[in-house]
Structures are given as structure tokens and as C-alpha cells.
Structure 1
């Protein structure tokens, strides 16, 4: 008897597996499994569907000693595990009422099976939240199925009368119904697991999409968040993802809105959707699955679902990124993950752009400070030196005034980040001419410069090193001092070298540790060499022998 019953139940199980396979391939069921939140209408539709599946399984059951061996538990438990307590209760109530009052045969267990069917749907519904976080859901589905079937057998023994008839029935149906129905639930969830895996693969593809979008939007967001960059980025997202609409805002107004609803969600207009304000206030991703949850005041608006992700800089919300769909309850988990990823990527791009901007502003300020650090006594001493030879050597005085003019003009002007190398050389020559006039019997200069070079270099990248050799190498030396200036091409590199035979550098360790003791000029040179060319100064020094400083830069430019 048990063997025959098991074969019959296996046949029913085969039907359920075929049903599970075909329904799992439908878009309607896939969306139901993957949605974040269900509408009341969808819950009722699926509750009724599962309830009627339970009725069908009862009708296909096999009468056994006053009971009906059937697979009704499978659709009822599945309904609860997928839809929660309400869906499980409704489907269990539908199938339970049928079993208790309308099923043909099985009068011994009609009431007890009706009650156990309702309880099974409720138990499975409350197990939904726990199972959702698990990977192997089919194993937990089997376990819930076993619990529900065992509970059904206990209720039969408690309610069904006479007791000995109930016990006889339970002995026959316990093993085949309990284990085969639990197995059927597990198999059903294997198909559901396949849907989830396919969605995860789709999410992986969306991750690739987000990276593609990030690469295309990088040139725009690096310049900051404004109407122009927002419009460019929104167009890129809309074209790639095909969402109904894409919108980007700051904390006060809409920066761009591309797609449906652009007639009233206009760029430059104030933010007036409640869900956007909530995202800005909380800094958390928000979504709405119905039109009335969006908070749009336009009754004709065709946008019915939305996800809103915050855009942040230094952990502060500076705007939001939104994607819309034109159907209610159309938000999938993969959509939320995509927007969350894009929000994080765009926030990073904006932060990096801000860092780059601040870096450029700092470098410009440092360069201006370097140009402006002409101390008054240098100017006074230079003028005094020129005045002293005005009567004895007017031509030399005129030449030195020209050199001082070149020096001052170059110091005060706001040049571009790169200048022709001949401008830097001319600036050095003007500076050394003035210093030579001040110390004619102490300072001697030798040049080894290739003037047939056409390349661009950062301004003041070499002159501060020459000035350091004069000030700290030669002036403090007893007797004469020599400074050699070398600028020559070596293959694809331009080599710069300044060499003096002065007192040497006792604080070379301080030089290499980026200390403020070196002065603004040297700090700036080292910093810019590193950031632009990834090059460092090479320093050789010996006490009372002299110092040599060299560096090389590529002829074809640096990192910028």
C-alpha cells in the first residue's frame, strides 16, 4: 500500500516539477520572484493562484482509509516562502476551505487537513524572511516542508476521530507524503534558485554597464557637478540603460532630466518630489514602486517607479542620481544595485575631480608665491649696484637695468603651466647677471647650455636651484666661487645640472625629507618634479668642496 501510494505521489510530484519548470521560465513569475516589494494586487493574484494549485493537488490525490494522500502542501508552502505570511495565509485558507468542506472523500481528515493547510501557509510565510538571506534556499524549503507535514500528521492524530482510524491512516501516509512533498518543495526552490542566479548574472552584466558608464562620464564629473556635466552624464546613462528617464540634481534644483517627464521635471527647476528630498536628508538610497510614492504633483506624469541614489563628497550629500520606469512596481534588485554602484562611482569621480582642482589651485598659489618672493633688499641691492656703475660704465648700467627688467617682468607675470625652455634660461641669465654685478670679484659663472632645444617645461623648475647655489653655496664662502649651469639633451631626456664649489650642504637629510627649512623654492621644485615627471633631485655635496644638483625630464613631456 505504501509503495503504491508513493508511486502515485511521485506522479503528482512530476506534474508539479513540470509546472515549476514552465512557470519559472515566464517573465511574469521571474519578476515576482525578483521584486523588492509586491503590490497588494500582485499578492492577491498569486495567493489565489497558489490556493487553486492546492485545490488541484487535493483533487488529484489518492483516497486512503478515510483520508486523501496528496501534494497540496507543496504550492501552499511555496506561496508562503515566496510571498510572506499574508500570501501564505490566503492561499492556505483557499485550499484549506476546499479540503474541509468541498473535497470528495477523505471525510475522516477533512477538518484537520483544512486547519493544517492554513497553518502551513502561515508558517511558511513567517519563514520567508529567514530563508531570503540564505544561499541554498532549496535545503531550507525541504526543512519547512518537513515541519509542515509533521504538523499535519500531529493535527490529524489530535482532531480526527476515531483515533485508531487516524493512527492507521498516519502510518500509511506519513513517510510518502512527508518526504516526497518536502522534496517537491526543495525541487521547486531549485528552479527559483536558478532564477536568482540568472538575475545575479544579469547584475554582473549591469556591473559591467556601470563601469562602461563610469568610463564615459569620467571626463565630465571630474570637472564638478553642474548642469552641463549632469546633462552629459544623464544622456549617457539613458542611452546605455534604456530607462524611461534619468535625472540628476544638486541639493536645491534639478540639474538635468532626460526622458519621459522632461516637460515638467525641467533642468534648473526646484526639487519638488518628496522621495528626492528624503534621499538628500538621509543620505540613503530610496525607491518608490508606485506613482503616489514618488511625490510628483503633476497628475499626468507617466513616471511610476523610481530609484534615488545620493551623490556625496566628503560624506556630505551634494545631489542625487535618479532612474525612472514608466510601470508601477517595476523596480528589481539588480536596478537598485546598479544605481547604488553608479552613485558610489560618480561620488568618487566628483571627489577626485575636486582633489585635482584643489591640487591645481594649490600649485598655482605656490607658483605665485614663488614668483612674488623677491625680497626688498634684493631689489635695493641690485639698484645700488647699478647706480654705483652708472657714471663709470653707463653701457653696463643700461644692460643691467635691462636684465633687472627681464627678471622682474618674468617674476610678476602669470604664465601658463608650461613655458618654452628658452624663457627659463633667459630668466636664469638675467638673475645671474645681476648677482654677478653685485659680487664681481667673488661670483664666477660658466654656461654649458644647448640653445637649439625646442621644448616646454614648467616655469621656475630650474632657477630656484641656481639661486640656492649662489645664496647658500658661494656667498658664505671665503674667496672666489664658481657656479656651472648645464642644460643639455641626452637621447630622449633633457638633463639639468647646477654645480658650485661652495661650502657644501650640511643639511642634505633635511633636503630629502621635504622639510620647510629648505624654503618655498626648493619645496616647490621637488614637489612639481615628482607630480609632473615622477622625477627626484639628485644631490651630491661635500663640506667645503661644493654641491651638484641634477635632474632629468623627458623631451616629450611628463604626466600632465
Structure 2
């Protein structure tokens, strides 16, 4: 129930994002930037944020005679922007509406919590009055505010049993979704207010109009469909000769002048696009030579290329093109940066949604790859055949099989040392050696000092299992698997190589387009990227008839460092 509720609340964040854009266009918000807010302005801000809280109530999801809602986003945003008075007033408006209009056993608790959350946010604002508040501080504020609300419900809502049940159901979804929603709300407001200061209300209204139309398309991430929809909307509203969106390898969408040859399968990314992908910075091409299009006779004369990011990872670019030697306008640069920032936030939200779903089944898939019916059936058959002829070996294999089960039950989903992971791998390989006999050879080149570093459990074994099943098993005479673990300057490199049948990566790369038999590699890859970031994960090098090398890259983190990281809000 909690996972479904979390997904529903994350989907409703687009409402908060849209409201943030709308509010950041008003004159009253500009006065907040310069710390000039009259008494009447404070009244207006209290009403505005109180209404945002009310919208969050109406967008709530009924749970146990109460509502899982995003009311706190409007209330705490009021305090973070305007101080304790505005935060408390917005909380009183939103909480009072909740108390009078919806009732329920938690009505008073929720109303009281809203007022106190507004005061908390205002107090935080007073502690950081002169510098823009960092995103992590806003995120932490949201978490503390929502935890406080859960405590208040437990202390004041009656009957107590219903309060406990309610908190069990809504605590995690509301803490996660609303703290992230508050962070996104504040980031969007900050971003668009900066745009307004540079280019004025007219250009910002254009950003808002386009942003409101593209919100729904990027919910599924950056692909051909979302890129095409975004490019069409910008082209229709922005009066640019051409608009394009790329990922890191190809043009996903191109609308306008010379669209045909830029969308050709043989057209490579332009020089300007590659520079933005390499540096992560905006690039302004002022001539056809700086654009670097390889097609003779291209009519594009200048361009603005802005990176699209998901967190810190660059995943593509957004481009505005000009013709007829029209100079690049500074307002267009700000416009492009503003849209790219917004798209990046939307893509990050889509990634949060995807990672939440991936986390729910990644462990299950890993366990299925580790102990599947075929592996268990074949192992038991092998042991059965050895009971009379080689009873000691049969007994040893039973012990190793039980160790594999015990490891799966106790360690799955945790970070363990490489030494512990290799113990599990050894048990698995001992069973496979008993099954395949002389057809399976194992070679190891392992730096002993790497054993103390942490690795997510069930990382190496699925890769080795893939090498056995898909690399060596199809060969009549079997082959060799080589396991190498070495340290680089900052990382650990784990290589699993086989001299098996190999694969055609151009036709089917299991890390880009996984198929049923190779889904284990994708699961390991996504788990590592989700935990450590886009620079880590798996790479595959394979030659048909010669074999495959899978390289696992993880950072050097010891057990003590892992514990310190888990306790730090900055980690």
C-alpha cells in the first residue's frame, strides 16, 4: 500500500511544480527577492500559500478516514520564503480549511501540525536570511516538518489505535514525496525568479507556457516521444527556425529548417552538441563552422546548445537554431537555460519514479538469478548422482547449497565486503564445477587488499552465472572463466572474462536492450548506477567465437566509510 501511495503522490508533484512557476512570475515574489515586503504583501502571500495548501488538500488521497496530501508544500514554502509570520498564517489558513471542511479523527492534529510546520520553516528562514537556501537544506526541512506532523498525530489524534494505523500507512509516502516536492517547488521558484531578473516578465511567461505543456511528456523520461513533443511545443511557441533534442548518442527530435537531414540515421551529432556533452556547459555557436554540421549546404548559422541533466549526469542536449546569420540574443540564452533546467528537474522526477519501481523488483530479480528452479533442480540431481559414488563430495555440495540459501536470506539487498561476496561466489562455482567437471575451468587474479571494500550483495555471482550459461555451456568442450579484481586510483575494477561463444553487441546489447535470458546483467548494472551514480556499473566487451569480458566498476568504500556515509545527510 505504501509503495502505491508513494507513486500516486509523486505523480501529483507536477501540480506543485506548475504552481511554483505561476507564482514565481508575480511582482510580489520579486519583492521577496529584495527583502521589501509590506504588510499588505504579507497578507497576500499568506493567502496565496494558504490556497496552495488547500489545493494540496483537494489533491489528497483518502487513507484510513484521513488524507495523504501535499498541503505541507505550500505551508512550508511560505515560511521558507516569507518567515515565521507568513508561514504560520498560511498554515492556519490551510489547516483551518482542513479542520472545517473535511473533519475526521485527525482533523485537529493536521491543522495544528500545519501551523507548527509554517513556524518551523519561518525559523529556518531566519537562520539563513541572506543567502539562497541550498536544496539539501530545503529537503531536510521538509523531512523534519513531516516527521513532526506524524508525531503530532500520534500525540493528539484519538483513538490512538487509528492514529498508529494511519501513521504506518502515510508516514513514509508523505515524508518522501512532500520533502522532494518542497525541494522541487523551491528550486523552480528560485530558478524562474533569476530568469525574470534578467529578461523580464514577457520571456518568463513564454517559459511558463511551454513548461506547463511539457510536464506530462517527460514523466516517462527522455526518449523519442517526449523529445519530439517538447521540440514541437517549443517550435510552436518560441518562433525559432529549428529546435532539437538529443541524448548522448543521437538526435531524438528535430523540428524546423533542415530537419530531414538532421534526423537521418547517418547524421552524427554536431560539433557544438559534442562540446556541450563533454563539458556539461551551455555552448553558443555563432557560425556554421562552430555548429559543425557535417552535411554540405546546411542552412543553420548559429545555435544555443544547453545540457540536459539527471542529477549530475548529462543525458542529452536541448538546442535552439538560427538561420540568415541572425545573432544569438541573450534573452534566448536565458530562455534556453531556463527550459533546460526545468526539463532536467522533470527528468529527475521521472528517474525518482523509475528508481522506486526498480527498487521494488531489483532484489527479487537478483534472487531469481541467484536461486532459480533450474539451478536448484540441476544441483539436486548432481548431488543425487554422487551420493553413492562420491558421498563426501555430495555432502560438501549440500553444505555449499545451504550456504547459498543462507547467504540469500541474510545478505540480499545489503552492502557486504568483497571477501564475503567471493565466499558466496566460491560456493556457487563449486557446485557448477561438480556439474560440468573438466569442461569448466576457473582462474583468479584477485588483489587480496580489495577484500575489505564494500559491494552490493549478489553483484559478482549473477555475472559469473551469465558467463557459465550463455558463454561456456553452448560450447561442447566448455572453457575458462577468469575473475580479476584490482584497485585503480579511486575505484575497484572487477572483470569476469570467458572464452565462450561471445555475442553480437551491435545486434543485442543486454545493457541497452535486455532480453529475457540476460535480464540479470541489466539488474546488476541498474543497481550499481542507482547506488553510486552514472559513472559506475557494468561494461561489456564481446567478440563472437572468442568470448566476453564484463567489467564491474564500483567506488572504493570501506565498511567504516559506508557507515559514516549512511549517517551523513550530504552523502
TM-score by length of 2: 0.40
